[in-house]
Amino acid sequence: MAAKAGAAASFIFMLFLLNIACQAQLSPAFYDSSCPNALSAIRTAIRSAIAGDRRMAASLIRLHFHDCFVQGCDASILLDETSSIQSEKTALGNLNSARGYNVIEKAKTEVEKICPGVVSCADIIAVAARDASSYVGGPSYAVKLGRRDSTTASRTLANAELPAFFESLESLISRFQKKGLTARDMVALSGSHTLGQAQCFTFRERIYNDSNIDAGFASTRRRRCPRVGSDATLAPLDLVTPNSFDNNYFKNLMRNKGLLQSDQVLFNGGSTDSIVSEYSRNPARFKSDFGSAMIKMGDIGLLTGSAGQIRRTCSVVN
Ligand code: HEM
């Protein structure tokens, strides 16, 4: 009995050491010797995509978020449907909404030309999100590297784990907490709604039925988002400067001009009001917290060491 317990204890200890060893492999210098030009190749591909379509910066940041929240940051979001893979691309939060798959595939193709089979799609998504942020005026930060790609995806998990625009503050906080992120991280990350667009169906309820909304703002948004129809018509998440990464998003919230219900709940008399007001006064603090929170988000549920694989094409397993 004692011998069994001892064996179990040493097995658990081995797992613990293995875990530390895997964690230790994530480092900004991971490809320094195996593919020294990987980061510049990715940056070139990302910059050229955003130069041609400014909104792509927003889409790439969101893609990293939607990857990390489902099975961890393992590029599962990029896998296409097959007989054995349930693609996440058709999950509620992604269908006709997530963008940038081809941009990541293009960056991957460029990287494969210089070092085949070395750089994971999961790392490319993480680097692309950082490059997107810095290109449009957001923070740059050192992305830790060494993630590996999954051989599976899960639409079921994507439907269950991606937050929805109608959720309460408590529910959102608890979702982020389950991923190891604090309410402060969540507010900072939501600040990326300083960029990009949302479809009419995601804010219709808010502009017709909510009371915590600026009347002028609601009536402007109603013009292009009728009670019925035009579901996919877009409106900027930050009404002032949707193409640059600044702290206007937080200033909007303080004037009841958040577009989504899940935006306005961050400033609606609850526990995160003080964080929103801090970021509205202190853009430098917002940017530095955003960078730290992105690094933290990039650590969710990693495959490292010999787990998973380095996909040759991001949309299919090898
Ligand atoms: C707090 C929970 C969140 C909810 C409920 C939420 C919900 C949404 C919704 C409904 C849209 C519009 C999608 C569409 O209409 O097609 C959107 C867009 C966006 N979200 Fe979030 N989001 C959340 C957090 C985040 C986080 C943590 C990030 C990044 C780290 C993020 C980044 C973005 C960006 C950049 C866009 C614009 C995308 C584009 O224009 O392509 N969001 N979000």
Would you list the domain boundaries of the chain?
Answer: 26-162, 169-296
Active site (annotated) includes residue 64: no
Alpha-helix runs per DSSP H in the chain: 2-24, 38-52, 56-68, 101-114, 121-135, 155-161, 169-178, 183-190, 200-209, 215-224, 248-254, 261-264, 273-281, 283-297
How much is the pLDDT for 10?
52
Q: What is the pLDDT along the chain (318 residues), one digit of tens a residue?
A: 444 455 544 544 444 444 444 444 699 999 999 999 999 999 999 999 999 999 999 999 999 999 999 999 999 999 999 999 999 999 999 999 999 999 999 999 999 999 999 999 999 999 999 999 999 999 999 999 999 999 999 999 999 999 999 999 999 999 999 999 999 999 999 999 999 999 999 999 999 999 999 999 999 999 999 999 999 999 999 999 999 999 999 999 999 999 999 999 999 999 999 999 999 999 999 999 999 999 999 999 999 999 999 999 999 999
Q: Which residue's CA lies nearest to atom 6 of ligand 1?
A: 165
Check pocket membership of 77 for ligand 1, CB cut-off 6 A: no
CATH 1.10.520.10 fits domain 26-162: yes
- For the chain, the straight-line distance linking the first and the last C-alpha, in angstroms and rounded, comes to 44
The pLDDT of residue 18: 44
Distance 199 CA to ligand 1 centre (A): 11
Interatomic CA distance for residues 75 and 90, integer angstroms: 15
pLDDT of residue 239: 92
Sign of CA dihedral 253, 242, 75, 29: negative
- What topology is assigned to 169-296 in CATH? Peroxidase; domain 2 (1.10.420)
Candidates 262, 257, 206, 199; CA nearest to 229 is: 199
Q: How far apart are CA 189 and CA 130, in angstroms?
A: 13
Residues 6+ apart with CB under 8 A from 178: none
